Amino acid sequence: MSGIAAFLGVSLLVIVTPGQDTALTIRNTLVGGRRAGVFTGLGVAGGQACWTVAASAGVTALLIASEPAFTALKYAGAAYLIYLGVRALRDKDEPDLSTEGPKQPRQRTFIDGVIVNVLNPKVALFFLAFLPQFVDPSRGSTATQILVLGILLASIGLVSDVVYACVAGGLGSWLRRRPTFLRRQRQVAGCTYLALGLAAAATGHRRT
């Protein structure tokens, strides 16, 4: 039980620290409403679940051991972040001032969350380095323990993203009455994604 408590404590500290998942959730919430933010969070959790399965199966370790595979994933993830940035900067539509906010396809926001995580090698490194620290081989299958820990981590992350979506959604009606602010927010979001993409592309390959 002490191991689980330590895992939950560290996970909370890691997840509540704002990162690209938080930025994406807030951005999609402001653009598409609270529901878009929630579906983004579901996509993020789905992407983390993919890495959980990969880590439990040993795929993550093989990926990090392979320089070409790691590099390909790194540049694919960087390209997608840059795409999100360009998409935000090129969006010239005037903000929707309706009370409910503009509608955004749930599928697109969900896919955004999945891809940003699946194509992020830092997530692979994190799952490979973090989850095994709390595995006790004397308690049974290592793969099963990693799966359980990964699901717990993704669940905590989902709750965090939903909270961010609810807070941003609550401010949405106030923000939508200020179209200039939304245009500036869109520009800031676009520049943020571009910066994250360039930073991801510059990430070196670290062997564990």
- pLDDT at residue 203 in the model: 61
Burial class (CB in 10 A: 0-12, 13-18, 19+), 47: buried
Based on C-alpha coordinates, what's the Rg of the chain?
18
- pLDDT at residue 100 in the model: 46
- pLDDT at residue 208 in the model: 43
Kindly give the confidence (pLDDT) of every residue in the chain, 208 residues in length, as a single tens digit, with 9 standing for 90 and above. 566 777 777 777 667 666 778 888 888 887 788 889 999 999 999 999 998 888 888 776 676 677 787 677 678 767 877 887 787 777 665 444 444 445 567 788 999 999 988 887 767 777 776 777 777 777 888 788 888 888 988 998 899 899 989 888 877 666 666 666 666 766 776 787 688 678 767 765 544 4
Contacts of 43 (CB under 8 A, 6+ apart): 109, 110, 111, 112, 113, 114, 115, 116, 117
> How do the domains of the chain map onto residue ranges?
21-201
- pLDDT at residue 44 in the model: 93
Q: Enumerate the H helices of the chain as residue ranges.
A: 2-16, 20-32, 34-57, 59-65, 67-90, 106-118, 121-130, 142-176, 179-201
- pLDDT at residue 185 in the model: 65
Helices 67-90 and 106-118 pack at an angle, to 10 degrees, of 140
- pLDDT at residue 159 in the model: 92
